[in-house]
């Protein structure tokens, strides 16, 4: 059983969001980088849980990005990946990223490809579905639970206003969210072992961009909260009705 | 032609798809072309009436193999339909199924895609779509460089406009591949509006001290006709069900009104609600960070303020 986990580098959830170079680039000054939480807490840890139940499982990691992504790949290896691939392509077009991952996936013939449901920076939520089309494999999105029964995956996913469970034959691509697994912290043995695990660097092979980011913008600052006297809720109702016009 | 995909989960067309049609119709008008919609499978609704959202035609692929959403199967059918119909722009709702299928369609059509758009694109010289990024903390303007363009539109970001019109409903014959997914169970929360579709939301945090105190929040929600939500610590402690958790790792919602009771407003919580049109924060701690993101604030004890607010709402409804 071979599992490929797609890993992305994102700013920490508490990072200050600001832009540089005339609002055309994310301002990386002072930003702490983390593994995208959906990729780490849910996709990677789920793969580790499957390996703990079945020692024949091999976990490969793939990330598409520059050399600055290597610390987060080492962390993912410390958590429990066996081998990692970094494709040296800094494009932020999802299609380019998906094509690079698909090339790795074709080489590896994986039974299971896990991604986070989206990254917390560009929020594209696109890689899993794109891989499905590029590899002609089934895709199940926004999964909250996964079990394997031989060559069958039993997956519970979010639907509008509830959940549904389905079964499908491997190979399958699954995007993961809360419920799949619980966050873990790498231990010292894992950190030491990660230093010698293979991290293969491949050159970028895709360059054509379907989309180009022109600029970023911060939302207009809130004009400031209007405080209402706690003993005068009639006034709050009036404001919601007449000023905000939401009720 | 602008082609809008109608998501008909469980034979029901949700508000997110009505909004997608309205968005597609406005975009078609801007581009001087027609807005047509595509629906897969059978549906217990009068499709012609979808004309009121601005679609001139509804193309329906009727096929007994299309009983349940399957990303791979649906992506194949939608892509073929887009080719047959000659669509130049495809619009999807940025809901669970839209997110699961639109990027696959983009691959099949060689189309550039922007997911999570929050406004109509600028189409004067090129085609630039604005979307929310960094979990609603910023916007990015993204140019699509390909001939065919795909957009998924954030829920409750464009609005629903209705007119007096009917659409022409036409059958579309497309080869449908078999689905390799077997659905074994569907578990829907009965009698509630899904949070992502709700326009009014009342949400509680640790400040309410325990699940036994949720009565005041439920009373307020009932008086307003609102859905209920909660913060992560509340769902993690099992005070409320997990499907009510809004925030970075829970649901991201954008209602017209979000009332936060006893929620301090950690940045991860804000990431799930910062696209709400109006935010009311009720908290006894005047230093709670949520006040900085709020439109209206009440510094006070929730156990006193919330019942007062419920009474004021009932009074205003009774008097109207």
Q: Closest partner residue to B116 among A123, A132, A177, by Cβ?
A: A123
Q: What is the pLDDT of residue B121?
A: 98
Return the residue of B nearest to A116 by Cα. Answer: B249
Residue B107 to residue A98, Cβ atoms within 8 A? yes
Closest CA to B175 of B81, B298, B239, B70: B81
Distance from CA of B199 to the nearest CA of A (A): 9
User: Would you call B140 an interface residue with chain A, using a CB distance cutoff of 8 Å?
Assistant: yes
Q: What mean pLDDT is reported for chain A?
A: 96
Q: What is the mean pLDDT of residues B90-108?
A: 97
Q: Which residues of A touch B231 (CB under 8 A)?
A: none
Cα–Cα distance measured from residue A239 to residue B3, given in angstroms and rounded to the nearest whole number = 40
pLDDT at B240 over 90: yes
* B229 beta partners: B203
CATH numeric code, A2-216: 3.40.50.620
Q: Which residues of B touch A234 (CB under 8 A)?
A: 312, 315-316
pLDDT at B14 over 80: yes
Structure tokens at B315: 């009074």
At B67, is the pLDDT very low, low, confident or very high (cuts 50, 70, 90)?
confident
Architecture of domain B2-171: 3-Layer(aba) Sandwich (3.40)
Residue B294 to residue A120, Cβ atoms within 8 A? no
pLDDT at B81 over 90: yes
Tell whether omega for the bond before A171 is within 30 degrees of 0, i.e. cis.
yes
Top residue of A18, A22, A125 to mutate, by most chain B CBs within 10 Å, is A125
Q: What is the mean pLDDT of residues B255-270?
A: 96
How would you list the strands of the sheet with B138-144, edge to edge?
A: A211-217, B138-144, B128-133, B112-117, B149-153, B89-93, B2-6, B35-40, B57-61, B168-171
Residue B181 to residue A211, Cβ atoms within 8 A? no
Q: What is the ipTM, given to two decimal places?
A: 0.95
pLDDT at B319 over 70: no
Residue B242 to residue A178, Cβ atoms within 8 A? yes
Per DSSP, B252 falls in state -
Residue B280 to residue A240, Cβ atoms within 8 A? yes
Whether B195-319 and B2-171 are alike in CATH topology: the answer is yes
Domain range annotation of chain B? 2-171, 195-319
Per DSSP, B85 falls in state H
| Beta-carbon count within 10 A of A96 CB | 22
Q: Each residue's pLDDT tens digit in chain A (247 positions)?
A: 999 999 999 999 999 999 999 999 999 999 999 999 999 999 999 999 999 999 999 999 999 999 999 999 999 999 999 999 999 999 999 999 999 999 999 999 999 999 999 999 999 999 999 999 999 999 999 999 999 999 999 999 999 888 999 999 999 999 999 999 988 999 999 999 999 999 999 999 999 999 999 999 999 887 889 999 999 999 999 999 999 999 9
Structure tokens at A246: 């939401």
Q: How many Å is the Cα radius of gyration of chain A?
A: 21
Closest CA to B274 of B235, B246, B244: B246
Q: How many Å is the Cα radius of gyration of chain B?
A: 21
Per DSSP, B200 falls in state E
Distance from CA of B25 to the nearest CA of A (A): 23
Residue B111 to residue A210, Cβ atoms within 8 A? yes
Write out pLDDT tens, residues B22-51.
Answer: 999 999 999 999 999 999 998 888 999 999
Give, in degrees to the nearest 5, the angle at Cα A204 between A203 and A209.
175
State the alpha helices, DSSP H only, in chain B: 15-31, 71-85, 96-109, 215-224, 232-236, 267-273, 302-319
Q: Closest partner residue to B248 among A11, A13, A211, by Cβ?
A: A13
pLDDT at B190 over 80: no
Write out pLDDT tens, residues B117-156.
Answer: 999 999 999 999 999 999 999 999 999 999 999 999 999 9
* A33 beta partners: A11
pLDDT at B55 over 90: yes
Q: Closest partner residue to B181 among A94, A168, A217, by Cβ?
A: A168
Distance from CA of A220 to the nearest CA of B (A): 10
* DSSP codes joined into one string, A144-207: EEEEEETTEEEEEEEETTEEEEEEEESSEEEEE-TTS-------HHHHHHHTTS-EEEEE----
What is the length of chain A? 247
Q: Closest partner residue to B312 among A141, A211, A236, by Cβ?
A: A236
Return the residue of A nearest to B309 by Cα. Answer: A233
Q: Which residues of A touch B142 (CB under 8 A)?
A: 211-214
CA dihedral of A45, A51, A54, A57, whole degrees rounded to 10:
130
Return the residue of B nearest to A176 by Cα. Answer: B249
Q: What mean pLDDT is reported for chain B?
A: 95
Residue A230, SS3?
coil
Write out pLDDT tens, residues B158-169.
Answer: 999 999 999 999
- The CATH number corresponding to B195-319 among 3.30.1280.10, 3.30.830.10, 3.10.20.30, 3.40.50.1220 equals 3.40.50.1220
Write out pLDDT tens, residues A114-164.
Answer: 999 999 999 999 999 999 999 999 999 999 999 999 999 999 999 988 899
CA dihedral of B76, B81, B84, B90, whole degrees rounded to 10:
-110
Q: Which residue has the tokens 């009074």?
A: B315
Inter-residue contact B98 to B235 (CB < 8 Å): no
User: Would you call B138 an interface residue with chain A, using a CB distance cutoff of 8 Å?
Assistant: yes
Residue A233 to residue B305, Cβ atoms within 8 A? yes
| Beta-carbon count within 10 A of B2 CB | 27
Residue B95 to residue A160, Cβ atoms within 8 A? yes
Residue B134 to residue A164, Cβ atoms within 8 A? no
Distance from CA of B195 to the nearest CA of A (A): 7
């Amino acid at each position: 059983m071979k599992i490929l986990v797609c890993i992305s580098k994102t700013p920490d959830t508490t990072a200050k969001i600001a832009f540089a170079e005339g609002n055309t680039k994310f301002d990386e000054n002072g930003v702490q980088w983390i593994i995208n939480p959906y990729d780490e807490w849910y996709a990677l840890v789920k793969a580790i849980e499957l390996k703990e139940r079945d020692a024949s499982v091999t976990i490969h990691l793939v990330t598409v990005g520059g050399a600055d992504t290597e610390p987060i790949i080492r962390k993912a290896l410390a958590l429990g990946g066996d081998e990692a691939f970094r494709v040296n392509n800094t494009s932020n077009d999802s299609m380019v990223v998906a094509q690079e991952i698909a090339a790795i996936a074709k080489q590896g013939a994986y039974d299971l490809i896990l991604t986070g449901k989206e990254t917390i920076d560009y929020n594209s939520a696109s890689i899993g579905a794109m891989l499905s089309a590029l590899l002609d494999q089934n895709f199940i999105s926004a999964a909250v639970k996964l079990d394997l029964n031989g060559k069958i995956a039993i997956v519970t996913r979010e639907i509008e206003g509830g959940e549904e469970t389905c079964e499908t034959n491997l190979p399958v691509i699954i995007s993961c969210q809360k419920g799949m697994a619980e966050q873990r912290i790498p231990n010292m043995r894992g950190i030491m072992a990660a230093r010698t695990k293979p991290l293969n660097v491949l050159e970028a092979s895709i360059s054509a961009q379907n989309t180009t980011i022109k600029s970023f913008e911060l939302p207009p600052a809130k004009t400031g909260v209007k405080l209402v006297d706690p003993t005068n809720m009639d006034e709050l109702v009036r404001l919601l009705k007449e000023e905000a016009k939401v009720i | 032609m602008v082609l809008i995909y109608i998501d008909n989960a469980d034979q029901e067309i949700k508000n997110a798809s009505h909004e997608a049609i309205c968005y597609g119709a406005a975009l078609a008008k801007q581009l001087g072309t027609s807005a047509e919609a595509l629906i897969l499978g059978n549906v217990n609704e009068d499709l012609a009436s979808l004309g009121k959202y601005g679609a001139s035609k509804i193309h329906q692929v009727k096929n007994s193999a299309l009983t349940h959403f399957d990303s791979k199967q649906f992506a194949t059918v939608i892509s073929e339909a887009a080719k047959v119909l000659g669509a130049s722009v495809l619009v999807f709702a940025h809901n669970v199924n839209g997110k699961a299928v639109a990027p696959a369609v983009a691959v099949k059509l060689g189309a550039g895609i922007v997911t999570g758009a929050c406004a109509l694109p600028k189409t004067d010289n090129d085609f630039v779509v604005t979307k929310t990024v960094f979990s609603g903390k910023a916007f990015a303007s993204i140019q699509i460089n390909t001939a065919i363009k795909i957009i998924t539109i954030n829920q409750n970001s464009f609005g629903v406009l209705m007119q007096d019109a009917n659409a022409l409903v036409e059958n579309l014959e497309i080869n449908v591949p078999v689905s390799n997914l077997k659905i074994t169970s569907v578990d829907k929360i009965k009698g509630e509006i899904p949070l992502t579709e709700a326009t009014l939301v009342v949400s509680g945090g640790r400040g309410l001290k325990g699940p036994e105190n949720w009565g005041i929040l439920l009373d307020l929600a009932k008086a307003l006709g609102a859905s209920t939500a909660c913060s992560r610590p509340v769902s993690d402690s099992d005070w409320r069900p997990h499907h009510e958790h809004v925030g970075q790792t829970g649901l991201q919602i954008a209602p017209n009104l979000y009332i936060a009771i006893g929620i301090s407003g950690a940045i991860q919580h804000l990431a799930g609600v910062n696209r709400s049109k109006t935010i009311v924060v009720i908290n006894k701690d005047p230093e709670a960070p949520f006040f900085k993101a709020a439109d209206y604030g009440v510094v006070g004890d929730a156990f006193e303020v919330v019942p007062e607010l419920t009474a004021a709402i009932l009074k205003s409804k009774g008097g109207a």
